[in-house]
Amino acid sequence: MLEIGLFQKQTTKLVMTTELRQAISILQYSNTELLDFLKEEALENPLLELKEDKSDDGALYYQSYSNGSSSHDSDNENDNPVDYFHNKEENLQAYLLKQAHELSFPKHERGIVVFLIENLDDAGYLTISLEDAATILKIDEEEVAAAFELFRQFEPIGIGARSLQECLLWQLENLEERSPLTEWIVKDDLERLATKKWAELAKKYDVTLADIQASADLIRMLDPKPGSAFSDETTKYLIPDVTVERGDDGYRVIVNDYMLPTVQLNRQYQYMLSQTGKDEAQKYMHEKHSKVLWLIRSIEQRRLTLQMLTEAIVEKQTDFLEKGLAYLKPMTLKEVAEQIGVHESTVSRAVRQKVIQTPKGIFELKDMFTSKIQSSDGSGASSTAVKHAIVKLIESENKQKPLSDQKISDLLKEREGIAISRRTVAKYREELHIPSSAKRKRFQ
């Protein structure tokens, strides 16, 4: 029989307060995100004062990041990395309009060219047909076609094309040494070339596989998106949140918070706080006062967590710091959490979007944590180290007889003592954006 009534039940439930949510967010923030957050808070809280540190303590490291990391070396300390890219003010349209006004051709045709320039996408392709352009401009299509022929000579070559084939053909036609075979392939068989049906192409054009290989190499040198060099997208830079430096007595961990302002209470408003009576103003000021104190504690806790976390990584990954990525040991969030005495979720939040500068390069902090793959000596290898080994094998392979996934699996077991299946090799290879052996094969 169902009994109806009121009953008491004791449960344990975490109440997610505003302050706790803020502390969790601050732990997850990168330095750039935290700086933006602090500026917003300073606008809302009159008791919060941000004191900019004007000292030169600490070096700010920049790293270009696009499909992997690469550094820019310069002997000129005044070099600005941004100077190596197109100025946003000189975008694609501005660059082309400048050419339109400098070149000598009839004003009427110049007006049509300007209209075409205004109808390019970011890649530099024309987004309107010549017929539609003529309709909009209320002129004959032949006039638009004549202006279009002038426009196709603009730099960079390929600008204004209406398809990938047309873009590549224009560039091929402007080479000092033209390749008729390559032009034929681009006109009629670009898809076959992309899918590596080279034997079919060699038979169709009565040439060798080496000739097809040469055409493929030539096409790779062309620019399929000639307008992208003028894109307004901001170049990404990795700014390390923490740095590991080698000293005389071992490695030193530095939390790079020098780019952050010092958070402190505004003294003027502090005085007002002591003078306010027991009214709404006093309540408001006390709330803002508590928020500043909580913010200061949260930022300090973030710094300490990053410090302890990185020190634990250094202790575990000495071989990596000495010898490189191939010696990165398997390490989990849980292991580090237990070592520094925090919850695994805390470590997970702390590594989010953080960057570490090491003697072996700049990496995302999460890349230091990898799964364990069994090795013959029982010590285990990290998945990152295994990927590194795969890359090394492929880099040194005979390009005319590239290694199959099964052969890579066999070599890893034979040379490195690492036992992984062919499927796992294929999975890691795809994650590294390395094509299959059939697509890596070269014929000369």
Residues 267 and 390 reside in one and the same domain: no
Residues 363 and 376 reside in one and the same domain: no
Of residues 10 and 33, more confidence is placed in 33
Q: How confident is the model at residue 56 (pLDDT cuts 50, 70, 90)?
A: very low
Please provide residue 414's backbone torsions phi and psi, each rounded to the nearest 5 degrees: -70, -45
Query: Average pLDDT in the 98-126 region?
Result: 85
Q: Rounded distance, CA 187 to CA 351, Å?
A: 50
pLDDT of residue 80: 36
Domain containing residue 140: CATH number: 1.10.10.1330
The angle formed by the CA atoms of residues 70, 365 and 246, to the nearest 5 degrees, is 75
Residue 67 in any domain: the answer is no
Residue 63 in any domain: the answer is no
Residue 183 in any domain: the answer is yes
Q: Tell whether the model's pLDDT for residue 397 goes beyond 80.
A: yes
Please state at what angle helix 422-431 crosses helix 383-395, rounded to 10 degrees: 80
Q: Tell whether the model's pLDDT for residue 302 goes beyond 50.
A: yes
Residues 134 and 207 reside in one and the same domain: yes
pLDDT of residue 243: 92
Residues 344 and 392 reside in one and the same domain: no
Residue 3 in any domain: the answer is no
Nearest alpha-carbon partner for 27 in 305, 351, 302: 302
Burial of 200 (0-12, 13-18, 19+ CB in 10 A): middle
Residue 309 in any domain: the answer is yes
Domain that holds residue 208: 92-229
Percent of the chain whose pLDDT exceeds 90: 17
Residues 145 and 213 reside in one and the same domain: yes
pLDDT of residue 336: 92
Query: Average pLDDT in the 20-36 region?
Result: 83
Q: Rounded distance, CA 199 to CA 224, Å?
A: 25
Model's pTM, two decimal places?
0.54
Residues 326 and 399 reside in one and the same domain: no
Residues 223 and 244 reside in one and the same domain: no
pLDDT of residue 417: 79
Please provide residue 349's backbone torsions phi and psi, each rounded to the nearest 5 degrees: -70, -35
Q: Tell whether the model's pLDDT for residue 391 goes beyond 70.
A: yes
Q: Tell whether the model's pLDDT for residue 136 goes beyond 70.
A: yes
Residues 243 and 362 reside in one and the same domain: yes
Q: What is the mean pLDDT of the chain?
A: 79
Nearest alpha-carbon partner for 298 in 15, 14, 21, 26: 26
Residues 126 and 224 reside in one and the same domain: yes
End residue of a domain, out of 368, 396, 425: 368
User: Which long-range CB contacts under 8 A does 6-15 form with residues at least 24 apart?
Assistant: none
Count: domains in the chain: 3
Q: Tell whether the model's pLDDT for residue 226 goes beyond 80.
A: yes
Q: Which two tokens stand for residue 212?
A: 């097809």
Residue 191 in any domain: the answer is yes
199 and 209 Cβ atoms separated by less than 8 Å: yes
